[in-house]
Structure 1
């Protein structure tokens, strides 16, 4: 490899390591950091900087060990109905308000009057909030489905929509609908199994339970 290409390898590896530190998801951080460490380690060995090479090889091994632990550990998920005591809920919404409003219109969400309002717990930590209003006897419209940044790996969505269908069917609910005005939310809905459709010129997503 010529000197220019080698130098670019070093720049790219450094950039990937830096980008990994911007990840709010620990899993994403570990994966991206692993790629960066492997490239930076290779760069170190190629320029005969063995301390750099071995240090990054060690970082890569540490990333692999933690990723194996993350994927191998059994996590506990549960849902907790939001009660009349909304002090914690208000604090939660206020803390994450700026980000929530990138995906949902909080001004038009009346959580206290919603048919379904739940905290989603992950290892007994409040990882998200789910709110849905009744459209008819068998349909709910999702008004708020928010996961905090460090738990944004689709596991909460899979728990709600795939592993916890019985919660909805007990109420006679057979379908969920959602509206989205954010490309990232569109991607999330599709990944969860929602089907995109159009009604009166408005795009909506439908999930059949």
Structure 2
């Protein structure tokens, strides 16, 4: 490859170097640890190519080492994917209260109407290993259906896996003994999440509904 070839006044090698720097910079903005490691991993690959093109062996060695380290931690993260558990929680449980207090500002972005759980609410904590990463609370309606009060995953572990665990593997309908669950969305990311979990817009368009298959 001709590394001196100019693209908008920049050599191919320089363009690749800038791309690697941009990828690393974006990775620093990631709140998900796993996504951050994947971005850094990609940046390492780009910098290895860059170092090869300009003959900078220290860059190759450093990024090669970082690539191996990131690959190991990514592998460890996927190895622990099955290490999730859904735990029923009392509304006054200290761990639940601590979780809600710690993430209160982020929770309100997605659930601005949430203040606290009521005594009759059904609440679950989702743990990964020994760490609580998610809380889901449901409130029963007079017709036996349930409303989602909160369904929140900590931003450091935010992906679809806790939701899939709760709504599919653990069969939320059996846990709640209901056929219908309603949810509202106040954030476009939560709307995407609800759709991924199988929720459909209600007939009046004011909520999302999930029915037992």
Coarse TM-score class (shorter-chain normalised): 0.7 to 0.9
Distance 1:142 1:119 in 2: 14
Mapped contact 2:91–2:119 kept (Cα < 8 A): no
Three-state SS of the structure 2 residue aligned to 1:111 is coil
Three-state SS of the structure 1 residue aligned to 2:85 is strand
Distance 1:67 1:88 in 2: 28
In 2 relative to 1, CA 13–126 (structure 1 residues): closer, same or farther, beyond 3 Å?
A: same
Residue in 2 aligned with 1:194? 199
Q: Does 1:206 align with 2:203?
A: no
Mapped contact 1:78–1:122 kept (Cα < 8 A): yes
Deviation digits for residues 151-206 of structure 1 (CA, Å, limit 9, x no counterpart)? 212111111001111x532543112111102111111111222223451x52x222
> Runs of 5+ in structure 2 lacking a partner?
none
TM-score, normalized by length of structure 1? 0.87
Q: Does 1:121 align with 2:127?
A: yes
In 2 relative to 1, CA 115–73 (structure 1 residues): closer, same or farther, beyond 3 Å?
A: closer
Number of residues of Structure 1 aligned to a counterpart in Structure 2: 205
In 2 relative to 1, CA 93–136 (structure 1 residues): closer, same or farther, beyond 3 Å?
A: same
> Runs of 5+ in structure 1 lacking a partner?
none
Distance 1:84 1:56 in 2: 48
TM-score, normalized by length of structure 2? 0.85
Q: 2:49 aligns with which of 38, 42, 54?
A: 42
Distance 1:25 1:43 in 2: 27
Q: Does 1:152 align with 2:158?
A: yes
Distance 1:115 1:136 in 2: 13
**CA RMSD for the aligned pairs?**
2.2
